[in-house]
Amino acid sequence: MMIKVRCPNQACGQTSHLCDDGLRRVFRCPGCRTKLPSTPSVPSARVGALLDDVAAAVKPDGPLHGSSRISELPAIVGDDDKHGGWPTSELDPEFQVGRLQFRNKLGSGSFATIYQAFDPLLERDVTLKVFHKDAGESSRDFAHFSSEVKALARLRHPQIVPIYDAGREGAYHYIAMEFIEGRTLAEVLAEGQVDVRQTAGMIAEVAEALAYAHASGIVHRDIKPSNIVIDAHGAAHLIDFGLAHRREMVEDQARAGAIQGTPAYLAPEQARGNDAVPHPNNDQYSLGVVLYEMLCGRPPFSGKPLHVLVSVLQKEPPRPGALNPDLPAGMEAICLKTLSKRPEDRYPSCQSLAEDLQRWLRGEPTSAQQAVSRGWRVLWPRQMRRLAASILTMLVEILLTLIVSPPVGP
């Protein structure tokens, strides 16, 4: 239930909209910091149960801790909560989530809208992800919320955006995360290709973040440029674990066989839509597509989703060097190795990919180049034997022609 409260400070008098969540939190005026009148408690068993679990796992002013409590968040199916709504079009500048004050809208996706908000107590900006309310698909939306919270709660890596808070405001679930001053890689690529050395550094950072997530039992499953944020210093940060698969997760039977992710960035084994358990190699292939796009200005395959999926399964991508003649051979070899159709032909892990990229940056031979070199050493003798056989056959034919043909003369 939304309650409109006016600041008791007569010199201020600013109006705020508060949502009673049953936690009896203390609210202060965003203008003058005067304590606002407390709101009456309206108990809600379903809302209270969720918020109690979240509150137990979240510090009042810091990041989440104790992921075991987060893993116990109850599922909400077909929720018909009558609490106050969330602004769905123009944002009310006075609206708040707890003490978080809205700044501006950053973007919107299939499941959530992203806002920049301000925490006046800790004097820092945060990224606020608010999941859409859809009465027909609220269980699906909550599944994405729950999956992302549980995944982020256990991850602590400098290239993975950390979670600060999670919960529910009215009928909407939200996640508060660190705010990264920068742009998504998709926005960067829209302005043109990135320098090859910068590309190698960014992909190496994301690869290391993925290696850490994989070691923690989490497969991202949706690696693409819009889920990578580049900060003001050029460092890459991985975001959006809404489709993440955790080691202990049991897939929903309704989603078994469904294709999870964005078609242009799916690994062939994902594009088949089979029931195989997600594997870290899936993320490596998707990151390889991002690398290809950064090097060539376009992903390997594009077009309608079905056409892209068929191409991913049946076609080899155009050589990066054919699209970018200035591309160093070593970088092309790394890229093509990540895009191998068979998972066993890719790098053993994303950490191995990161290490190969670092070797390339240092000017050292890479494992991808050495693999290509070994392949040519195996093929070269065969090609030489075939060439020698062809030359010998040709000489024999010429000799036979001279012997059989009568001499030409008077």
**Which among 305, 298, 299, 249 is positioned nearest to 277, based on CA atoms?**
249
Q: Decide: 44 and 22 in contact? Cβ < 8 Å.
A: yes
Look-up of token digits 């608010």: 130
Secondary structure of 166-189 as H, E, C letters: EEEECCEEEEEEECCCEEEHHHHH
- What are the domain boundaries of the chain? 43-178, 182-246+261-364, 370-410
What Rg, from alpha-carbon coordinates, does the chain have?
28
Taking the domain 182-246+261-364, which CATH number applies?
A: 1.10.510.10
Q: Is residue 170 pLDDT above 80, yes or no?
A: no
pLDDT (0 to 100) of residue 144: 64
Per the residue annotation, which of 53, 141, 222, 356 is the catalytic one?
222
Task: Please give the structure tokens belonging to residue 202.
Answer: 């960014």
Which tops the pLDDT comparison, 160 or 375? 160
pLDDT in tens, 236-260: 999 988 888 888 765 543 344 556 7
pLDDT at residue 330 is higher than 90: yes
Which residue bears the tokens 């409260």? 5
**One-letter identity of residue 221:** R
Q: Are 287 and 210 in contact (CB under 8 A)?
A: yes
49-53 average pLDDT score: 39
Average pLDDT over every residue of 18-37: 57
CB-neighbour burial class of residue 286 (10 A; exposed 0-12, middle 13-18, buried 19+):
buried
Q: Which tens digit of pLDDT belongs to each residue from 122-144?
A: 889 999 988 876 533 455 656 66
Query: Using N-to-C axis directions, what is the helix angle for 196-215 and 280-296, rounded to 10°?
Result: 170
Q: Is the pLDDT of residue 69 over 80?
A: no
Q: What is the DSSP string of 54-101?
A: HHHHB-TTS-B--HHHHTTPPP--S----S-----SSPPTTBEETTEE
- The pTM for the full model equals 0.67
Concerning whether 222 is annotated as a catalytic residue, the answer is: yes
Determine the pLDDT at residue 403.
72
**CA atoms of 168 and 283, how far apart (whole Å):** 30
Q: Is the pLDDT of residue 39 over 50?
A: no
pLDDT the model gives residue 281: 94
Using CA atoms of 28, 169, 177, 195 in order, give the dihedral in degrees to the nearest 10. -120
Cβ(106)–Cβ(181) under 8 Å? no
Residue 79: predicted pLDDT: 32
Question: How is domain 43-178 classified at the architecture level of CATH?
Answer: 2-Layer Sandwich (3.30)
d(CA 52, CA 312): 45
| pLDDT for 89 | 41
The 8-class DSSP code of residue 236 comes to E
Quote the pLDDT of residue 12: 66
pLDDT at residue 221 is higher than 80: yes
Give the model confidence (pLDDT) of 171-214 as tens digits.
778 889 999 999 999 999 998 878 999 999 999 999 999 999 99
pLDDT at 355: 96
Pairing status of strand 100-108 against strand 112-119: antiparallel
